[in-house]
Chains A and B, each alone.
Chain A
Amino acid sequence: MSTVLQTRDLRKEFDGVVATDGVNYAIDNKTLECIIGPNGAGKTTFFDLITGVLTPDSGTVEFNGDDITGLSVHEIARKGVVRKYQTPSIYNEISVDRNIRIAFGEDGTTDPNRRVKKILNRVGLAAVDDQIAGTLDHGRKQWLEIGMVLASDPSLILLDEPTAGMTTSETSRTADLITEINDKENISIITIEHDIDFVRQLNCPVTVLHNGSVLASGQLSDIEDNNEVQEVYLGR
């Protein structure tokens, strides 16, 4: 199994506050993993550092063996690391269909019509393909964004709280969706989450971040038994 993403001693500081404190993290190819942690643990900052939104003060980020530290956002995205943001980041003024098409990116794709259909079916939005994205309800906007991420042909997907604001049934469907993407498309996925039930449904390895560093990692059951983690986080 090869490592698709690896960070070494990743560090980032803001005006004296250490947001990311020497994080060593690795995820293997075609794996699905979760990152959890209390608010302010530095989870989104971690994603920012990986995707080029922020440049680390020290440390490196490697993607499929290549050093991508310090590259710009679009360059990293082109290499295959695509992100879904915490608040739905889609094109509100155009249709669902066109949102997906734009996501095909610079290089476009062969047979776009077929691919659009396939993706919309996968995320459950086939019935609303010509609806204006801004008029979708919150849950569907999240799925649209996931669809767009899929359309851009990623090797690694970063999901930042994909179920924020979703109902229980929507959360369930999202868990199925993510598992399916990982299984069928063989794409590696890292997802940040707050919702422990969602993490449980995904049944994947978990890394706990606290104050910018890795507190613990392993299977959810082990994490739940971990005293430190309980002190810091669980009981929500």
Chain B
Amino acid sequence: MVGTIILFLLPLVASPYLSFLAAQYYLFGLLGISLGIMWGYGGILSFGQAAFFGLGAYIMAWSFGLSPLPINPAYIALMIAPLATGLTAGLLGLVLFYSDVKDVYFVIITLALSVILEQLAVSASDIFGGFNGIYVPRMALSIPGLFSIKLINDRLFYYVALLAMLGGYVVCYRVVNSPFGERLIAIRENERRTKSLGYDTAWYKTQAFALSGSLAGIAGALYATLSQFVSPPLTGFVLSTEVVIWVAVGGRTLLLGAAVGSILVNAASTVLSSVIASQYIMILGILFIIVVVAFRRGIVGYIIDRYDIKGKL
């Protein structure tokens, strides 16, 4: 609670540049949450979250490309992106989960999804802009007929990003603590038993994946208009695998861990990269290995266990 208040007050003291960075981190946090709900609660590792993130980003870019439109193009994108990414994820889930594909294969296939999408974005350059990417203007917050504020001010966008992340967090929190969430965890713990009790586990997994995809799509759409540039790496496997690292380091079985891990790792990367140039990826890789071997609940998870902080996060 206190933390949230601090976050809300931050832009009042921070520079526009810091607000910009923080906004990026929050959107990455939302991306992390999208993986967290699949991986931490469903027990299914997706190595392709960037595919949905990037798709959402491109949808935002295309939306602006179709201007002039009677409705705020960003609003259109923010409605279409989660639908498109959620549907894609859902369809893929239907195909894969109903055929009892082993967890490992799911990882490979989602990884391939990212690779394919990135390749597509590079080659189909008339649609995706290829390597040169697409420039995206800052979105405007508007109520038709009343006002329209273009979010050029980084501090304003900070709040949008923060709200988006908190919104995603709240949605996932409610899902996780609902009967649906409980069953998802049951599937993660013992899928065989859950099936034998009459639950259509493949459908639950598909729904979780669809939710995960649409959250990533929203994050991507907002990211596009924040950073004002969309290019193939946003869909690629490098980002996809980075998300896995953020969430693993933060703590995959906790939503808070996923969010905090994403924010912290990115913040640390920015800080470290200005200090130790290229080696920070190496450090990140080593840290990742250590976390995987020794800190299975991630850093946040470790702290919670160590200091016995209760409550379902």
Residues of chain A at the chain B interface (Cβ within 8 Å): 51, 72-74, 77-78, 82-83, 85, 89-94, 102-103, 105-106, 148, 152
List residues of chain A with CB within 8 A of the CB of B199: 74, 105-106
- What residues of B have a CB within 8 angstroms of the CB of A90 in the complex? 190, 193
Residues of A within 8 A of B193 (CB): 85, 89-91, 148
Interface stretch (choices B106-114, B181-189, B289-297): B181-189
> In the complex, how many angstroms separate the beta carbon of A192 from the nearest chain B beta carbon?
15
Rounded to whole angstroms, the CA-CA distance of A152 and B197 in the bound complex is 6
Q: B192 interface residue, CB < 8 Å from A?
A: yes
Q: Which of B182, B192, B200, B201 contacts A102 (CB 8 A)?
A: B182
A-B Cβ contacts below 8 A, count: 53
A105 to B186, CA, bound (A): 12
B189 to chain A, nearest CB (A): 5
B190–A89 contact, CB under 8 A?
yes
**Contacting A51 at CB < 8 Å: which of B189, B194, B196, B201?**
B196
- The answer to whether B145 has its CB under 8 Å from any CB of chain A is no
Cβ contact within 8 Å between A77 and B192: no
Interchain CA distance A94-B193 in the complex, whole Å: 14
Cα of A233 to Cα of B13 in the assembled complex, Å: 82
Nearest B residue to A148 via CB reads: B197
Size bracket of the B interface? 10 to 19
Within 8 Å of chain A (Cβ to Cβ): is B198? yes
Contact, CB under 8 Å: B196 / A73: yes
Q: Verify A102–B186 contact, CB threshold 8 A.
A: yes
Residue of B nearest to A134 (CB): B189
21 contacts across the A-B interface (CB closer than 8 A) = A74-B195, A74-B196, A74-B199, A74-B201, A77-B197, A78-B198, A82-B197, A85-B192, A89-B193, A90-B190, A90-B193, A91-B189, A93-B189, A94-B189, A102-B182, A102-B183, A102-B194, A102-B197, A105-B197, A105-B199, A148-B193
Chain B residues proximal to chain A, CB less than 8 Å: 182-183, 186, 189-190, 192-201
Please, which residues of chain A bring their CB within 8 A of the CB of B201? Answer: 74
List the A residue with the shortest CB-CB distance to B200.
A74
Q: Which residues of B contact A94 (CB under 8 A)?
A: 189
Output the nearest chain B residue to A93 by Cβ-Cβ distance.
Answer: B189
Task: Give the distance in Å from the alpha carbon of A85 to the alpha carbon of B194 in the complex.
Answer: 12
CA distance A94 to B183 in the complex (A): 12
CA distance A89 to B190 in the complex (A): 7
- B190 contacts A82, CB within 8 Å? no
User: Chain A contacts of B196 at CB under 8 A?
Assistant: 51, 73-74, 77, 82-83, 85, 89
Q: Which residues of A contact B186 (CB under 8 A)?
A: 91, 102
Please tell me if the beta carbons of A89 and B192 are within 8 angstroms of each other in the complex. Answer: yes
Q: Which of A51, A74, A92, A105 has the most CB of B within 10 A?
A: A74
Q: For the A-B complex with A91-B189, A92-B189 known, give 15 more contacts whose Cβ atoms are closer than 8 Å.
A: A72-B195, A73-B195, A74-B196, A77-B195, A77-B198, A78-B198, A82-B197, A83-B196, A85-B193, A91-B186, A93-B189, A102-B183, A105-B199, A106-B198, A152-B198
